[in-house]
Amino acid sequence: MNQLDLQKKIAVITGGAQGIGFSTAKRMIDSGAQVAIWDRDAAQLDIALKELGTAAWGTSVDIADNDSVLKATAATQAHFGRIDILVNNAAIVGPNAPMWEYPINSFIDVMNIGVNGTFLVTRAVIPLMIAAGYGRVVNVASIAGKEGNPNASAYSAAKAAVISLTKSLGKELADKNIAVNCVTPAIAKTKLAMEQDPKHIAYILGKIPRGRMLELNEASAMICWLCTEENSFTTGAVFDLSGGRATY
């Protein structure tokens, strides 16, 4: 594993108690960063913090609730003094169903966490980065946001929105030392991904030319590099993690 320079950097990772978020937290800590894990699953958060060790700190937060986000932001700033890096990773997948049969409340939940939550967290953290004159933001989207997966309209729409939010914010902050980019993973073997209908999993796996799922460490490698000072020019960009599936 190559060594990245994240010495003395402070990172916030939403949904960081498991999956891609947890893998990213581990790699950041190995590269010298301190990490704040924001996760609504308090039990899983405790497990993750014990494994990550003293360089990690965490708080239970519902990113779809602005008051919860503001409290988490203030608590993180009080604990670490600043926030240099933000990884918007938290999302839910939702059920698999045709759009005309998709449960209304499930659609709203997927959008609230994946889109509204990303907006609320970013809205709270960016002013701190502007004041400090430095920041790196990586939004975890999905290849579904580029292509649209059948029977996953909510998730596809949410991730498409995350891609567009990334491009808008990247342009808004282009005159500052704050880079905003996103990644578009194919399916990885995470708890949430594997809760989907097995037929749907087989369908999206069959779309990947590499012929396998994304490994968590492959995702965290790209995310972490985007969070370094070396990524000093690229912003508002989409970095592919689809194993060759992406056509643009």
- Exactly one of 102, 155, 203, 248 is catalytic; name it: 155
pLDDT band at 99 (very low <50, low <70, confident <90, very high): very high
CATH number of 10-240: 3.40.50.720
Cα dist. 233→117, 141, 166, 180 in Å?
Answer: 27, 21, 15, 10
Instruction: Using alpha carbons only, give the angle 247, 21, 136 rounded to the nearest 5 degrees.
Output: 75
Residue 197 confidence (pLDDT): 83
Residue 196 confidence (pLDDT): 78
pTM of structure: 0.95
Q: Where are the domains of the chain?
A: 10-240
Tokens read off for 222:
């790209």
Closest CA to 223 of 40, 31, 49: 31
- Chain segment 50-71, per-residue pLDDT in tens: 999 999 999 999 999 999 999 9
| Contact indicator for 8, 229 with CB cutoff of 8 Å | no
Tokens read off for 218:
């492959």
Tokens read off for 220:
């965290």
Q: Which residues of 212-221 are buried (b: 16+ CB within 10 A; e: fewer)?
A: ebbebebbbb
Give bridge partners of residue 59 from the DSSP assignment.
38
- Chain segment 113-133, per-residue pLDDT in tens: 999 999 999 999 999 999 999
Q: Which residue type sits at 90? A: A
- pLDDT at 93 exceeding the cut of 90: yes
248 annotated active-site: no
> CA 75 to CA 81: how far, in whole Å?
10
Q: Which residue type sits at 63? A: I
pLDDT band at 195 (very low <50, low <70, confident <90, very high): confident
- Chain segment 210-232, per-residue pLDDT in tens: 999 999 999 999 999 999 999 99
Averaged pLDDT, 149-163: 97
Residue 35 confidence (pLDDT): 98
Closest CA to 9 of 230, 240, 233: 230
Residue 194 confidence (pLDDT): 75
> CA 162 to CA 168: how far, in whole Å?
10
pLDDT band at 161 (very low <50, low <70, confident <90, very high): very high
> CA 204 to CA 189: how far, in whole Å?
12
- pLDDT at 247 exceeding the cut of 90: no
Residue 103 confidence (pLDDT): 98
pLDDT band at 201 (very low <50, low <70, confident <90, very high): confident
Cα dist. 147→88, 97, 186, 196 in Å?
Answer: 21, 17, 11, 18
> CA 96 to CA 102: how far, in whole Å?
8
> CA 203 to CA 198: how far, in whole Å?
9
pLDDT band at 190 (very low <50, low <70, confident <90, very high): confident
Residue 188 confidence (pLDDT): 87
- Chain segment 2-33, per-residue pLDDT in tens: 779 999 999 999 999 999 999 999 999 999 99
Residue 200 confidence (pLDDT): 86
